Structure 1
Amino acid sequence: MAVENSYTGWAAVREGKNKLVDGFPYTLKHQRSTLHLKTPVSASTTEAFTQLLSQKRQAKRVSAPLPTGEQLLFAKRQVLETLPKKIRFARGTRKRCGMFDWQIEELINTAEAHRRGASVPGVVGYGYTKSRFGLMDDFFIITELLQNYTDGYQWILARPEEVERVIAAAFELMYSLNSSGIYHMDLWAANMMMCNEGVGATYAIDLENCFAQKNEFLSETLGFQFGFFFLREVNGFFDEARYDAKVELALKQYAGIDRERFRRVYQVTKHQHVGRKERREVFLRGVVPLADITKMT
């Protein structure tokens, strides 16, 4: 195993719009696995990485804190199951729809959001394990660990009387992300991390379905974001009319919102699930791919 300064790296990321390899110049290799890291790591962190790379795969996806002596880290490991996906990862190519696979999208979006100063965990590194045939078997993303934090959904379950506090934190986080040009299209209570002591910032996680580009349909995007947040679990703990009133107050922070375009999306998405791929249509085209919006009004 060796750690070296190297800009030779994974084609999919090198060709990505953010050229992440340029920001992760240190390479750690162990057997058939490679990690690209932002900075050199200590001996204890190197040992923790070695243990991670040596672990046998026990599940398709594993997300867990990485025990290290000096750095607080969090690792995600995703098994690449299908041959087409393995080939795309090895070649660094996109899917037919023009997107990278979700794991690569998460890596690119999280790193870009952190670069812009958005409230997301910093990316420490990423990596993969290759088979003897050169195809990738699994993929890793390593980020900073948010210690002493709880996700918003668990917070509501433990303290249902504080659901209003979670809503307020979510709206503040949403505005902060959007103001940075980061549009999270999967922002529900479990994808926001709240400080247990109530003094730290709220963070967004799981940015695989996210945009870091100019928004031509902000009214529709906000309609989806506010509606989706209500649909994903908050609706079981908070009255809809009271939620609508809070949304109206939150919208005053945004300039130039077309209320009719906002309302048409909002009324649908706070009652009906919109799949991850379909959400992209909301952002890119301002289209809600659901029929009979009138039933939602």
Structure 2
Amino acid sequence: MGRHRLARACDNNATQKIFIKTARIESLPSRIRVSLGLRRRSGIYDWPLAELHNNVNARLRTDLIPNLIGYGFKHRLGLVDEVFLAYEHLEGHMHGLEWVRRHKEKVADLVRAALNLISNLNHQGIYHLDLWAANIMLRPDGLDGLKAIDLENCFIGTTPHHSETLGFQYGFLYQYALNEYITEEEFDALVANHLMEREYDIDQLRFLPFYDRFKTYGQTAKIAISFRSLVC
């Protein structure tokens, strides 16, 4: 389609749209790995395969993510050079960052809902490691029925590092975008209340160092990807 990546709602010649994500795979090592279903040396798949695997496995556990309708591969010279993922289109939804920009006075409500979403996913063995405001979808008229998107950086299974992972996730949620709309003290208070209500088995000595670190540590793609090795 003339782009390295594309994410867009498209007509499917039926009554509803579908949401299409495509990715061109240009390097030869990546094309070989994707064609053969191989992982990188780090133990993770290239992101199109990672997103495919994670969505299939996560959907078996929860409906808190959009439904993956289908997928496909385009080949050139016997190797995959493009991956297509087709999702249900969340008609009438917006992402959380857009919602906060419209309702700055209600940012605390979004934080509470996002913390609940993270806990609900984690308790089902789905650890989303890139869950910032724009990766949360919701309806403009309320904060019920939130859904998480973009699962390429996600761990599914059982981890012995639940407290550390939760600290990373909550810190990451704050420092990547939401820190512009709510103070650290207000966010800390919301997290403290949430932990008392929902996370009865959290180990504060293991949780706090990661939470404090990633509330202020600059976001890069490598942070969340590298953190995945700890979760496992």
What is the TM-score normalised by the length of structure 2? 0.93
Residue 24 of structure 2 contacts residue 83 of structure 2 at CA under 8 Å; is this kept in 1? yes
Q: Is the 8 A contact 1:118 1:176 kept in 2?
A: no
How big is the shift at 1:202? Answer: 0.4
Q: Is the 1:63–1:76 contact (alpha carbons within 8 Å) kept by the matching residues of 2?
A: yes
Tell me what 2:37 maps to. 92
The residue correspondences of 1:178-257 to structure 2 (distance < 5 A) are 178-198=122-142, 200-252=144-196, 253-257=198-202
1:101 aligns with 2:49: no
How many residue pairs get aligned? The number is 227
In structure 1, the residue matched to 2:115 is 171
Per-residue CA shift, 1:12-53, capped at 9, x if unaligned? xxxxxxxxxxxxxxxxxxxxxxxxxxxxxxxxxxxxxxxxxx
Larger Rg: 1
CA shift for structure 1 position 136: 1.2
Q: Deviations over 1:200-251 (max 9, x none)?
A: 5100000111111102001101100110000011111101111101101111
Alignment of 1:1-297 (within 5 A): 57-68=1-12, 69-131=14-76, 133-198=77-142, 200-252=144-196, 253-273=198-218, 275-284=223-232
Counterpart residue type for residue 227 of structure 2 = R
SS at match of 2:86: strand
Structure 2 residue runs of 5 or longer lacking an equivalent are none
Q: Which runs of 5+ in 1 are unaligned?
A: 1-56, 285-297
**Letter aligned with residue 121 of structure 2:** L
Is the contact made by 1:121 and 1:143 (CA closer than 8 Å) also made in structure 2?
yes
Q: Which has the higher contact order (CA 8 A, sep 6+)?
A: 2
Structure 1 runs (4+) deviating above 3 angstroms are none
Q: 1:200/1:223 Cα in 2 relative to 1: closer, same or farther (>3 Å)? A: closer
**Cα offset, 1:59, TM superposition:** 1.3
CA RMSD of aligned residues (A): 1.4
